[in-house]
Structure 1
Amino acid sequence: MRAHSTSPSTLRIVVIAGPQSTQPALLSALQESGAVHTVATVEDALSHLSANPADLVVAEPSTFQALRRLGGMLGSEQILERLGQGVCIVNRNGELVWANPRLRSYPANVIDQVRSSCAKLLHEMIGERISRDNARPRRRAISVEREFHFDVTASPLFGADDQIEQAVALIWDVTSTRRLQDKVNAIDAAGRELVRLDADQLADLNVSDRLALLEEKIIGYARELLRFTHFNVRVLDKASNRLDTVLASGMSEEAKNLTIYATTEGNGISGYVASTGRSYICSDVSKDPRYLPGLDNARSTLTVPLLLHDQVVGILNVESDEIAAFTEDDRQTAEIFARYIAIALHILRLLVVERFTTTGRIAADVGAELAAPLNDILAQTSTLMEDYIGHDDLRRRLSGIIDDVDRAKQAIRAITEAPGGVSGLVPEQTSADPLLDGKRVLIADDETAIRESIADILTSAGAVTAMAADGAEAIAMLHSQRFDLVLSDIRMPHKTGYEIFSAAREANAECPVILITGFGYDPHHSIVRAGQQGLTGVLFKPFKVDKLFELVHKALAPRTA
């Protein structure tokens, strides 16, 4: 191996120590020819040559092969160190002839496993009688006790007789990549389980229970797979552009109750992420002006968008009490998990709509199937009544049949044309309901049909009802009047269901409150928060009259000590 000399009088010679290269006679002759620098290993030679050009390199035949091969692959020791990967040479006996510092830094069992794998690759190449002309690198993935993972690339080293004598291998540590892939796979599996919220599983659960089930799953998977213990999920209310807390774990009450909007300025990191759809790693909250209070003593945060059909529907915010606690790997896995959260929240909402529209579709199909037979019955009965003029008893029976058919058609029509809220026939009240008689009931809902339907039903049972069309009106009435029961929708203009619940309790600590919702999740977290403070119940749209009475009776029933 030669390099261009910069001095015509003195040769620069590097000798790699070995039985033949360090023989006294040879060294004496070399010293007479120039300046000799002796090194112990190929690694030392590469290190020396990278800083000190040489005119001549003297080495054992096998060592020279390795030096030439490594010089071609890596250029210099500096490149080797910059790669940060392991390099080694094994011989036909499976012995580790040489290894660089990176490979030698691993535990002995890891080095031995790498040596063994390289030796097997070498013997495969020997067995296939590979020549210089068709020599190609061989690759293999190996794992050591599931703790270390490597990709090994081995190339043959040929002797003077063109026979393979050794193999030089580049060992890439892919442990972090493999662990990330394993985590992604686990998150994917957990996400699929997360969105398996089918109608059968949730049929008997109210909104609060449904959200609690989802919250339990999300918190469990976030802690188990992502090691996230302090986080919150906010859902975007598109009408107001506000980000409302849906669930939280390990966050302060101040953080959960912050009013945040999806804008890039003045609404913290969560507002920025919701507005731009881009994830955000804050390595040091003390140096980031966007940060708003979250975890007590928070030092760093990770915030990713909840995306549904590439549209932002909310955010997942994770916090840590350590500086720079989150990496790009954390960002990637959090983004995957956040997509599943978005899907799960969407499924909860759709289950309500699906159940209602499915009921309507089935009822409509039944109505279509029964329309002709019912009309035939009406026609035939009317004809019979004309034929039996003078037979009063028979005509009364036939008239009763006509009335029954009319009621059947009205019932089917009531189901298929339900206004999205109340279904089931209103029972005729022959006397006042003892629990409702004289009770003052506030009904707050921005849907006129729902508000008036509930008022009519409860009024017919003896209640004295008052109605509010929005949250602000409801709270004003609570401040000016005393009520025995409050029924309020959770999503109305101006105020949330929780704010109405709080106002009712502030006006009368004993006043029972029933919240009403037509959605599969609670975007303002009203139900969960109120549930922790004595909420009486939740009326889930579309609801039947008997369900309304069931909850009202529960709310007004005398309390036992």
Structure 2
Amino acid sequence: SSGEPLEILVFVQDVTSDERYRQKLNAIHEAGVELSNLSPEEVFHMDVEDRIELLKSNILHYTQSILAYDYVEIRLLDQGTGKLQGLLSAGIDKEAAERSLVVSKHDNGVTGYVAATGESYLVEDVANDPLYIQSFSGAKSSLTVPLIWQSGVIGTFNVESPEADSFSESDMHFLELFVRNIAMALNTLDLLVAQKTNAAQKSVEAIHREVALPIDKILNDAVNVMECYIGHEPEVEKRLRRILRNARDVRQVIHKIGQDMAPAEAVPAGVAIERHPFLVGQRVLVVDSDESVRNDAHSLLERFGCIVETAETGGEAVYMVRNTDGTESYNAIISDIGLPDFSGYQLMLRLQEMLDVVPLILMTGFGYDPGHSIVKARQAGLHANAILYKPFRLVQLLDVMETVLKLHGSSSPASGPNS
């Protein structure tokens, strides 16, 4: 009203970039939630391969829609071999996607270097970078970040562009945030796979535990009856041998189903059973009157790929050996020294009458051997290390098994019955 001029000071700040930054962070967070979001129905109905394909599809969708990257490659680290296996790729040449890469700072491109160092790597111009290996024709720049879970590198995430200097430190920051979500989703998937594998293993083990000894009993009864008909009733003998073969086939079918339901590669490395390749496929006869020992023999040795059959008495063991030849002969025979009908030494003498080579291992409880069965068996040719003293540890059983198997020809079955 006084007529004096009014001065107004206005501050203008462009918040567009800040707002875009916040929007992008929010989008990345929401994408992370979606990547790991699997409903109970999806978990139940989808198998592992379907869940992997869904995860790959979602990763690619969010990479393109949020980060606007069209040239993408993700590799996962095989902890056992150090190889970087391709999980997914888009826009990358087929030859590059199938290229063999390992964790190394040298000769394995930017991907191998990032996996080895655990540090992100920005290539502003591929023509001037000593590590870069071409991923597609016309590539000019790239950005590679490590996939990290619990402080360890589990893979790499690589994006590329046909434009030079296409990526910035800000892009690196966003991609590092995004791959944290991917690592979490991959870990969730691993947990689901491990849980399913564990459940499958327990189911198969329970089934096998219930049928193992009944199948052994069928085998024992069949060879007992066969002893009465060999040389007298060829047709009956033929039918009994068919029963033996069918019973053994049932056991192998159960093993095969177990391997299909819970393959070894699906078992997490931290809980996987130590491999003993020497034991795989070895046929083992365990002779003991104690049912728990026979059950344990199945559960322990079959973990390592052995084919186990059992007998309660020395007489049954003799019949089993006499009526099992060729590829079904036993590579190792483990027997208690105090059977209801034979001592361990007596069993060895009976087996020597039938076999050129007797791959025998004797067991005794707490070193108790009143009949000096072990001393006599050693004098008759038993290997000095072919003794197990109950209770024995698993590692002792495996060591003695490998000693006897190597001594008597490892992968080939024990020499068949003397003609």
Q: Which one has the bigger helix percentage? A: 2
Q: Which has the larger radius of gyration?
A: 1
Higher share in strand: 1
**TM-score, structure 1 normalization:** 0.37
TM-score for the superposition, normalised by structure 2: 0.48
